[in-house]
Amino acid sequence: MPVFLLFFAVWMILNGKVTAEICIFGVLISAALFYFMCRYMEYSLKKELLLFRLIPLFIRYFGVLVKEIVKANVCVLKIILSPELQPEPAFVYFDTDFKTGLARVLLANSITLTPGTITVSVEDDRFCVHCLDKELAEGMETSVFVKLLKEMEDMEAKWTK
């Protein structure tokens, strides 16, 4: 129902006038849009509430991502500024047990955003990641990214039953 009210409020704001005809037409248009969303886009209030419950996890995920980017920047900077350190590039293959494509995409993009690593391919749950140095490859399959994404999936599964 909050979406219906949002549609109606947007309709009224965009019209700029308040007349009986505009209000009636706004209610009809808002009801039609709400029906369309529920019927064809699988909208439910339960899913909307789930998004609010996931916000703290997304904030934590973003914080962890920033922290990991900074740590990886320091590692790459050490490699660049220390000529005696020779990087040992490596390909890392690992499997995850994600249920959703969104979790796979978030993990792949997070790995690619982190300096010194790039996701080469994702096939089903198998990731192939190129790392600038073996040090950057350690513990990738058990990283905090994987744990947080798994926690998000578990929460979603619990709420969408």
Domain ranges of the chain: 2-40, 57-159
Give the chain's mean pLDDT: 88
Residue 44 has pLDDT above 90, yes or no: no
The dihedral sign for the CA sequence 118, 123, 125, 126: negative
Whether 60 contacts 114, CB under 8 Å? no
Average pLDDT of span 50-72 = 89
Q: Quick one: pLDDT band at residue 63, thresholds 50, 70, 90?
A: very high
Give, in order, the Cα–Cα distances in Å from 40 to each of 30, 34, 36.
15, 10, 6
Residue 160 has pLDDT above 70, yes or no: no
- CATH number of this structure's domain 57-159, picked from the four choices 1.20.120, 2.30.30, 3.30.70, 3.40.50: 3.30.70
Model pTM greater than 0.75? no
**Helices 144-159, 45-81: crossing angle, 10 deg rounding:** 180
State which amino acid sits at residue 61. Answer: Y
Average pLDDT of span 21-31 = 93
